[in-house]
Structure 1
Amino acid sequence: MSQEERHQISRRAFLQAVGLAGGAAALAACTPSAAPSASSGSATTPVASSGEQVVNFLWTDSQNTHQPLIKDFETATGIKVNQTQVSYNDLLNKITTSVEGGADVDVVEMDTIWTAQFASAGWVEDISDKITDAIKSDVPESALSAVTYNGKLYGMPWFNSAKHLFYNEKLLKDAGFDAPPATLDEFVEQAKATTKEGQWGSTWCWKQAEGMICDWVAIMFTNKDAQILDANGQAVFNEMGGTDALQWMVDILYTHKAADPASLENTETEVLRALETGTYALTYNWEGTLPEANDPAKSQAAPNVKIGLLPGSKDVKSASVNGSEGWAILANAQRKDNAWKLLEYMVSPAWQKKAALTIGDYPVLSSLYSDPELEKNIADFALYGEQFNYLAVRPQVPGYAQKSDIIQR
């Protein structure tokens, strides 16, 4: 599922969880009265007049959901954010042409799977020496891994995102289980027990696409010794958990026959739709799944879908995959001080809390997962936060997209 799809689902999830009026009230409460009005939604905002403090930002806020937060930053710092917005599918090409063509861009949105490519090419600034003790103490390594390459930090994580376990509590209880699976062995046991005529124990997004890689990584890292690359950047996953993970995936389909064969054609969206039929017991998916699957207006599974930690093993409590993105300062940026101020504000409690309450972005700050207002307004908020502590990152290698395509085959 793309970042844009996840944001759209998260936004709907937020409004469903707290109610439309409650969401509007939270938005009003979090918006400073002095903040200017939100952007009109144009693809590119005008360049500031001569002498005005600015920062030029290339990203994908195509729904304009983050514009109040941008305005908050402008009000707090006096720095105008000139935005160029493109779709996620066009973002990598736009960044590439901007860098190679010498465009006047200071900050870019950087998907976790691009970190190695941008860093190794010298496109983005190493900000390891800028990160403060306050940030270090509140942003866990699992979140920073999205913007880290060869031990150096090349951006700040924007939001947390991971795969989570979603299960139909009624189907599990009907099969004699009082709790969701804590290990992959228990997952197989429960999936087999809940597979019968007209019903499948599990469904997956194993179409030849990135979603399959995400599940493979999550399954692989239930092995305490799992490793994708060695210290020299060489692939070692065949000997360090990758082959075992693939075998588990094959077995649940063909040996245990406890996964819907349609999994091989499914994306995450199709997995969500399958879960809504009320005939699937277990699945992995991203944030936003729960409110959609428990919406009685369109889901036959409502209100029985619950969230849990992804299963681990006897040595690993849980393992998921990092699906977040970050913001990075271009190495040739003309306004690096202003660019850093934008990144620093984005990772502040003010931005992170408001983004959670009004948009559905899950914070990268650990301290916010015990915030009473967030716990009150976002269902299972602390459980999401716990999962974010158990994240593996996909291979941080240049040219990741091509290598991922090879693995998918």
Structure 2
Amino acid sequence: MSLRAKLITGVAAIVVVIAAVVTFAVTSGGSDGDQGGARTLTWWSPNWDKDEAAKLVAAFEQENPGITVTVVETTWDTMADKIRVALESGTGPDVITELTSRTGLYAGKGQLLDVSSWFTGDMARDDFLPSALDAVSLGGKTYGVPFRWDGSALIYNKDMLAAAGFTAPPTTWAQFTTIAKATTKNGVSGTAWPLGNDANTVTRWIDQYFTDGGAFTVDGSTVKVDPGKAADALNLIGSSVTEGWASKSSLEVDNTGLRDLFINKKIAMYVGGAFDVTPIQQAGINLGTALYPGTDGPGTVSADGFSFLVPAKTKKADDTRKFVQFLARPQNMAALTQTFPARTSAGTDTKFSTELIKPFFDQLAHARPNPGYTGMTDLTATVYSAQQQVALGRIGAAAAGQQIADQAAKVLKP
């Protein structure tokens, strides 16, 4: 080969190498989404938000030309494991919609980005419900942006209460007991509980535990439960069944079965979620809703919801911040949530202001984050068994409360 031919061949090879390097730099992604080329973000979003997510992405892309967002659908059955594996391996997407109560589990392992500085300007911190922010905060830092926040409230049959001589719903537990006993007659029970399902049972027990003044207290490497308060909560729910003014069906039904009992006029009132309102209305029940009754006013319920989380290893923080702040705008948050938004300003949307829905939103001012400690799954089985046994009269509430406290000390970790 001549010297000229060798030079041409060498130059061509260098050009090919340079082209390959440039192509890799554009497509593999440098800081903040492939600067100098296509900027892309990936959002893992649950399949029940599919339609609204697509609309919001389209609006964001139109407002931010040059940034493309790909939505990957997750499902309730698989999202926890999928997200855990992705965060542990460092292969996660740019934005994740995840159950708020699991945020602390990831943040405690250093797997989430601290987004404290994102709460500014149009996304002011004081516009978010305090309990929702508490649920995504750890060590004075915030690791998620909550957008959906749900708690329970009281659902009652106006006609049944009126027939028993009551023109208003109960506002205290004493009134609740009085009304429930008065409406228990002719095959109708005053109330019922979803004790046939472990998760539903634990939620109702935690609601009452919080209402009675109980707390989950971090003590070094363990989390403590007050055995006396645990027993009080078990007794208040369990005694309603043993005394006969809560339906025996409580031992078998879940939340859906509980709603069916109400629709079929087998119970006069119960504690449920805002998602129950529409099917009850469609059944033609003269429905009323009110705050969860406590000792001398509104009770305290456990709340949970969904938040936007960002992996700690993100290389696209600026574009991701822009996208999350867009999703968290009041009107977008209201559109995305099926129940209640985590921002006060988003709660002014007309769909949250109806007479029947408003108490569920107002209840969030009397709510605490659902405990998300490591080991809650192990504790769930103990609480479920304890509540069932107390409701069946097979064990005293004090002994059962101590069982819960002992198990919590063994399995719960901050």
TM-score range, shorter chain: 0.7 to 0.9
Could you say if the C-alpha distance between residues 146 and 265 of structure 1 is closer, same or farther in structure 2, counting changes exceeding 3 Å? farther
Query: Is the aligned partner of 1:114 residue 2:98?
Result: no
Match of 1:76 among 63, 66, 82: 63
TM-score, normalization by structure 2: 0.78
Q: Give the stretch that moved more between structures: 257-266 or 162-171.
A: 257-266
Structure 2 Cα separation of the partners of residues 49 and 311 of structure 1: 55
SS at match of 1:230: strand
Counterpart residue number, 1:286: 273
Q: What is the count of residue pairs matched by the alignment?
A: 350
Contact residue 83 and residue 92 of structure 2 kept, 8 A: no
Q: Percent identity?
A: 22
Gaps of 5+ in 1: 1-46
Match of 1:309 among 284, 287, 291: 291
Letter of the structure 1 residue corresponding to residue 204 of structure 2: D
How far is 1:331 from its partner?
A: 1.0
Structure 1 Cα separation of the partners of residues 103 and 273 of structure 2: 21
Letter of the structure 2 residue corresponding to residue 353 of structure 1: A
How far is 1:323 from its partner?
A: 2.4
Counterpart residue number, 1:274: 261
Letter of the structure 2 residue corresponding to residue 106 of structure 1: D
Letter of the structure 2 residue corresponding to residue 343 of structure 1: V
Contact residue 48 and residue 82 of structure 1 kept, 8 A: no
Counterpart residue number, 2:51: 65
Counterpart residue number, 2:305: 324
Contact residue 97 and residue 306 of structure 2 kept, 8 A: yes
Equivalent residue runs for 1:38-187 within 5 Å: 51-62=37-48, 64-66=50-52, 67-78=54-65, 79-132=67-120, 134-187=123-176
Structure 2 Cα separation of the partners of residues 237 and 104 of structure 1: 35
Query: Is the aligned partner of 1:350 residue 2:338?
Result: no
Structure 1 Cα separation of the partners of residues 315 and 228 of structure 2: 43
| Bigger-Rg structure (1/2) | 2
Match of 1:200 among 189, 197, 207: 189
TM-score, normalization by structure 1: 0.79
Structure 1 Cα separation of the partners of residues 35 and 382 of structure 2: 48
Query: Is the aligned partner of 1:386 residue 2:346?
Result: no
How far is 1:164 from its partner?
A: 1.6
Gaps of 5+ in 2: 1-32, 386-414
How far is 1:220 from its partner?
A: 1.6
Could you say if the C-alpha distance between residues 210 and 49 of structure 1 is closer, same or farther in structure 2, counting changes exceeding 3 Å? farther
SS at match of 2:304: coil
Letter of the structure 2 residue corresponding to residue 339 of structure 1: T
Contact residue 138 and residue 367 of structure 1 kept, 8 A: yes
In the TM superposition, what whole-angstrom CA distance separates every residue of 1:164-216 from its partner, at most 9, and x where no partner exists? 21111111111111111111121111111111231111121122421111111
How far is 1:55 from its partner?
A: 1.5
Counterpart residue number, 1:22: none
Counterpart residue number, 1:397: 373
Structure 1 Cα separation of the partners of residues 251 and 34 of structure 2: 50
Contact residue 274 and residue 339 of structure 2 kept, 8 A: no
Could you say if the C-alpha distance between residues 399 and 80 of structure 1 is closer, same or farther in structure 2, counting changes exceeding 3 Å? farther
SS at match of 1:88: coil
* Structure 1 vs Structure 2 CA RMSD: 2.5
In the TM superposition, what whole-angstrom CA distance separates every residue of 1:373-395 from its partner, at most 9, and x where no partner exists? 4467x453433321111112222
SS at match of 1:387: helix
How far is 1:91 from its partner?
A: 0.2
Query: Is the aligned partner of 1:189 residue 2:178?
Result: yes
Structure 1 Cα separation of the partners of residues 106 and 228 of structure 2: 27
Q: Which has the higher helix share?
A: 2
Contact residue 119 and residue 154 of structure 1 kept, 8 A: yes
How far is 1:396 from its partner?
A: 3.1
Structure 1 Cα separation of the partners of residues 285 and 197 of structure 2: 31
How far is 1:95 from its partner?
A: 0.9
Letter of the structure 2 residue corresponding to residue 103 of structure 1: T
